[in-house]
Structure 1
């Protein structure tokens, strides 16, 4: 039955859960599993290893991570898998298996907030700010929060990168955001894109805007009170690129 959590390949004891419960210091990656296959496994493993070196001063064996994911999945074929790494007596790998999640099929609405994640290049466990602003956005009827710099430039949403298209090319915000795995997979699939500073007020001038994360790609239809154009042709191009990305075994 899901959700299911293991630490280092076994059900956790209460004592083992104390470190992640009491000390919000660690790093994570989240992936979608279908038929026990995943997109961009090497990117997830590289993310974990890089963050582990930066936070804990030691590498993280990718085969150890793969082994723990396979063990936690058991006979589950389709799932959302979150790998969390923290340090108790030593560095521990916690794998949580939850039901699968797909990208939204309806245009997303975003509410803006001036907030920048600390150490934004790391997908870390310090998510209070993201969740706080996401929940404020949802209370006001929006799907997610769009985070801005103090100067009003777009960074990312609480859980996704923002991708724009100006009619000629794709554009990522030139801001201190997490380099998402879907962002990197689209580049690997051949998507040419530029990085530019993007103000929130610029967004309606783009032909299309999307959110991208491990769930996939979804169009954005509104930011605050601004209507964002929807473009079926551009949507078909970017989703086609994403669907061309191969799945690989864990």
Structure 2
């Protein structure tokens, strides 16, 4: 395994036969850094481990990756560390290389300013026409194949929306373009099944340890009838949704729910 630490003063060299470039053969995670420490590091490492196992990556040294993440994060008070894992170069066509040498790219990015106030303000969602594919083989994983999100973001821009809700090809609610979805109804939390489509986020995994969450198939109509809606990811945490299409949700009630649970 090779590790490249990317700094602002250098441009990393990626070979033309790197499988991440050729086929999107890899995965990644983005980590919030606060006061020099990577947040939810255990959950991020668990994601990398799960991706490496399900995608048949060999020779991935998570201990070495962890130490480099900590090294990069320690000099930043608020930032984002991004870890990209490629299977490396080699292999004929799509066939996996007989000898894999994964390459890990670790970079530090500025923390997105809108996330600093998004929790207090809430976020508005509009349902997008761009569908998510159904593929249980890679569902839940944060692979480098993110063309669905690229096309969804293009739709957002074309329609002037701030954020969008994504459904899969069966019309089932899955997630937003950047976050997982949570639905509160009669005091119970629900979240969409992610065994056919979507990404199982690190912050959702964190919440699952603290709260009782039922995973189920969720329709758009169920979202409209919810008492509150939330979205979450590892950078912004959990954020109230104030509007979905024409349906509005009270911000104060959602914030009270989060405050009562120290979220």
TM-score bracket for this pair, using the shorter chain length: 0.7 to 0.9
Task: Give the Cα separation in 2 of the matches to 1:199 and 1:135.
Answer: 24
CA deviations over 1:144-163 (Å, ceiling 9, x no partner): 23221233210112221100
Give TM-score scaled by structure 1 length.
0.83
Contact 1:156–1:162, Cα closer than 8 Å, also in 2: yes
Partner of 1:210: 230
User: Aligned-pair distance for 1:219?
Assistant: 1.8
- Secondary structure in 1 matching 2:165: strand
Residue aligning to 1:148: 167
How well do the aligned residues superpose, as a CA RMSD in angstroms?
Answer: 2.5
In structure 2, which of residues 128, 150, 160 is the aligned counterpart of residue 112 of structure 1?
128
State the match for 2:4 in structure 1.
8
**1:51-75 deviations in whole A, cap 9, x for unaligned?**
1122243253222112222343462
Structure 2 residue aligned with 1:66:
66
Structure 2 unmatched runs, 5+: 90-100
Query: What secondary structure does 2:254 align onto?
Result: helix
The aligned counterpart of 2:199 is 178
Q: Distance in 1 between matches of 2:13 and 2:254?
A: 50
Q: CA deviation at 1:22?
A: 4.0
Matched with 1:163 is 182
Report the Cα offset of residue 169 of structure 1: 0.8
Give 1:93's aligned residue: 104
Is 1:197 the equivalent of 2:217? Answer: yes
**Which segment is superposed worse, 13-22 or 83-92?**
13-22
Contact 1:30 1:81 in 2 (8 A): yes
Deviates more, 1:233-242 or 1:191-200: 233-242
Aligned to 1:188: 209
Pair 1:210–1:13, CA change in 2 (3 A) = closer
Tell me by how many angstroms 1:132 deviates.
0.8
- What TM-score results when the alignment is normalised by the length of structure 2? 0.79
- Cα distance change, pair 166–227 in 1 and its aligned pair in 2 (3 A): same
Deviates more, 1:126-135 or 1:110-119: 110-119
* Runs of 5+ consecutive residues of structure 1 not aligned to the other structure: 1-5, 244-250
